[in-house]
Amino acid sequence: MSATSYDVIVLGVGGMGSAAAHRLAARGARVLGLERFGPAHDRGSSHGGSRIVRQAYFEGEAYVPLLLRSYELFDELAAETGRELRVPCGGLMVGTPESRTVSGSLASARAWDLPHEMLDAREIRRRFPTLAPDGDEVALWEGRAGLVRPEATVGAAIERAVAAGAELRFEEPVTSWEELPGGAGVRVRTAAGSYTAGQLVICPGAWAPGLLADLGVPFAVERQVMYWFAPRGERGVEPFLPDRHPIYVWEERDGTSVYGFPAIDGPEGGAKVAFYRSNDGTCTPETVDRTVHPDEVATMAEHAGRHLPTLPGALLRAVTCMYTSTPDDHFVIARHPGYSAVTVAGGFSGHGFKFVPVVGEILAELALDGETRHPIELFDPRRPLPED
């Protein structure tokens, strides 16, 4: 089995890996990308037609500068490929004033001087008749929020990576990798061949518990479900079109969060809703239940109906995906502390896709320069983590 050599091998060509391959190749590196499935596949966490993007970030103010750069790179990638990637339909973070979704978003908006408005329940109903908040609920309105299309984003990054000279091999799962002695780089093996490179970038998605076990981070893979419902009434999806219905994250009083999107898939496409976390317990990519069950549909419809009375009509479709979470829900992005030639990115905890292009830029910098200009201290795998 002969070895073929590259500057950088990227293990996993999903959301983060495709972006890394793109940015590495754009900098002139000889890049090999290895992916166990096909391009822009639906077996991991980068599918489902839409992902929320927002900058007033309740998960923490430290994320905001990365989001500002990510927006720039999404739009740059869209311009380079002629694809629609980001749809700026605006967004609402809804809940009681003290909820994390509202208070955290407001803190980030104020800290970074992001344009926003605070709306009371009456104003929410006036501007967005599809929504029905309780009298004591409020929302932070962010005009720059919206959605991105994950499959199109991955496809665009793959297109640009290949155009810049990257070699991407699909349907070729990695069987093993090792760091070579004396700082000579890495060797990666698949059933089809053996490859060497100066650097390895690992973007494992839901395969992180196995591939990144030596980090000591207890990654947990969680099954999630996305639902598309046909709105009730003669007007169908018209009130839910992107020019009149925003993305939203709605925190209920018990901490349950429902999120949703405008109707972007035509008259028969419905509107998408989901729980931020469904608390189904952990799984693996091999054991995840990809069947959506009637009781799950009923629970989702009941929660959606509390907030969007005309939405949960007939179920049009539902698909599963996976979150790969860390104990504190912050990412892991770093040079591997145990291997000088390895960079890792994982544990995106259900809120990572909006960062895809900037994570690609970060990974390229870490692999080629040994450091990054971006603030990633929060994502150090050696940080203290909460215990169960």
Domain 5-46+151-218+328-379: CATH architecture, name and number where available: 3-Layer(bba) Sandwich (3.50)
Mean pLDDT of 81-93: 98
Mean pLDDT of 259-271: 95
What confidence tens digit (pLDDT) does each residue in 288-311 have?
A: 999 999 999 999 999 999 999 999
CB neighbours of 8 closer than 8 A, spacing ≥ 6?
24, 29, 30, 31, 32, 197, 198, 199, 200, 201, 367, 368
CB neighbours of 22 closer than 8 A, spacing ≥ 6?
77, 157, 158, 160, 161, 164, 166, 360
What's the pLDDT at 387? 83
Mean pLDDT of 164-178: 97
Question: Under DSSP, is residue 359 helix (H, G, I), strand (E, B) or coil?
Answer: helix
What's the pLDDT at 157? 98
N- to C-terminal Cα separation, the chain: 45
Q: Pinpoint the residues of the chain covered by CATH 3.30.9.10.
A: 51-148+220-325
C-alpha distances in Å from residue 34, one per residue of 17, 65, 210, 386: 9, 30, 17, 33
* Confidence check: pLDDT of 280 > 80: no
As a whole-number percent, the residues of the chain with pLDDT over 90 amount to 96
Quote the DSSP letter at residue 230: P
* Confidence check: pLDDT of 275 > 60: yes
* Confidence check: pLDDT of 248 > 70: yes
What's the pLDDT at 388? 63
- Domain 51-148+220-325 classification at class level: alpha beta
Q: Work out the pLDDT band at 277, boundaries 50, 70, 90.
A: confident
What's the pLDDT at 273? 98
What's the pLDDT at 209? 97
Quote the tokens at residue 48.
Answer: 């489902």
Q: Pinpoint the residues of the chain covered by CATH 3.50.50.60.
A: 5-46+151-218+328-379
What's the pLDDT at 2? 44
Mean pLDDT of 219-247: 96
User: By the 8 A CB rule, do 364 and 345 touch?
Assistant: no
What's the pLDDT at 64? 98
d(CA 271, CA 278): 19
This prediction has a pTM of 0.97
Dihedral-angle region of residue 23 (phi above 0 means left; psi in -120 to 50 means alpha; beta otherwise): alpha
Quote the tokens at residue 57.
Answer: 């970030």
What's the pLDDT at 278? 67
Quote the tokens at residue 325.
Answer: 């979470």
Mean pLDDT of 358-385: 98
What's the pLDDT at 1? 37
Question: Under DSSP, is residue 241 helix (H, G, I), strand (E, B) or coil?
Answer: coil
Quote the tokens at residue 385.
Answer: 């983590």
